[in-house]
Structure 1
Amino acid sequence: MQTTYLDGIGPVTAVISSIGVRHDGAHELVTDGLYLDLRRALRNPAEDPAMRYRTGLDADVYAHVLATPGARELIARTAVQLRALADEVPRGRLVRLTVACQGGRHRSVAVAEAVARRVWEAWGGEYGVEVEHHHIDRPVLPASSVG
């Protein structure tokens, strides 16, 4: 698992996790907070042989995911929802977002990073954001009937 921290002058306030729903135990990683399933929402970079074995942390894969029609709007809406949730919980309590795709290497990783950056910037760096990629290092999964 790779973890990214967007440091703030205050405590980590949001934890964003990317997962691949087809991996064993993935559903146990979904605890509380928001859940975003991208399997039908965004293009799957794994369908492109040039990107199949890369991840959403690679610039070309990240750009491919964010270039999907509607992706940037989805990211913006999710960031607003996460910030609104943070405003509703007592100060010091973590808010969580789980971003899911088929294998947890491409779409969920790119979107988790994009939402984290947007939320951190909206907070003006006042609070930290942690991003966890639970399945980024797992093998690429064979195609399924659900993208």
Structure 2
Amino acid sequence: MQITHLDGPGPVAAVIRSIGVLHDGAHQLVTDGLYLDLRHALRNPADDPALCDRTGLDPEVYDHVLHTPGARELIARTSVQLRALADEVPVGRLARLTVACQGGRHRSVAVAEAIAREVWAAWDGEDGVDVEHHHIDRPLLPASN
């Protein structure tokens, strides 16, 4: 697992997880909060031989995902929802978002990072945001969605 931490003087207020739903145990990571499944919403960079061995942390994959039609709107809507959830959770609890795709290496990673940056910027960097990439280091899966 890889973790990105966007720090602020306040506490971490949101945790965003990227997962690959086809990996064993992935659904056990979905505990509470918002859930976003990208398998049919965005094109899969794994279908491109030049991108398949990279991850959503690579600029080329990140750009590929964010330039998919509808991606930026989806990210904007989800970041608004996560900020609203963070306003409603009790003190000491975290707002959580799970972003899923097939393998957890490309789409979910890029979108989780983009949402985290948008939420953190909207909070003016006052509160922290953690992003956990649970399946980013797993091997590519054979089938594609």
Q: Which residue of 1 aligns with 2:106?
A: 106
- Matched to 2:141, the amino acid is L
Deviation at 1:90? 2.0
Deviations 1:99-124 (A, max 9, x none): 00000000000000000000000000
Report the count of equivalent residues: 145
Secondary structure of 1:140's aligned partner: coil
Q: Which residue of 1 aligns with 2:28?
A: 28
User: Unaligned stretches of 5+ in structure 2?
Assistant: none
Out of 108-117 and 90-99, give the one that drifted further.
90-99
Deviations 1:26-59 (A, max 9, x none): 0000000000000000000000000001000000
Moved over 4 A (4+): none
Deviation at 1:143? 1.4
Whether the 8 Å CA contact 1:104–1:133 is kept in 2: the answer is yes
- Matched to 1:88, the amino acid is E
Secondary structure of 1:82's aligned partner: helix
- Matched to 2:6, the amino acid is L
Deviation at 1:81? 0.1
- Matched to 1:27, the amino acid is H
Residue 45 (structure 2) pairs with residue 45 (structure 1) = yes
| Seq. identity, % | 81
- Matched to 1:124, the amino acid is D
Secondary structure of 1:13's aligned partner: strand
Q: CA RMSD in A?
A: 0.6
- Matched to 2:3, the amino acid is T
Q: Which residue of 2 aligns with 1:130?
A: 130
TM-score (norm 1): 0.97
TM-score (norm 2): 0.99
- Matched to 1:93, the amino acid is R
User: Unaligned stretches of 5+ in structure 1?
Assistant: none
Deviations 1:69-118 (A, max 9, x none): 00000000000000000111123310100000000000000000000000
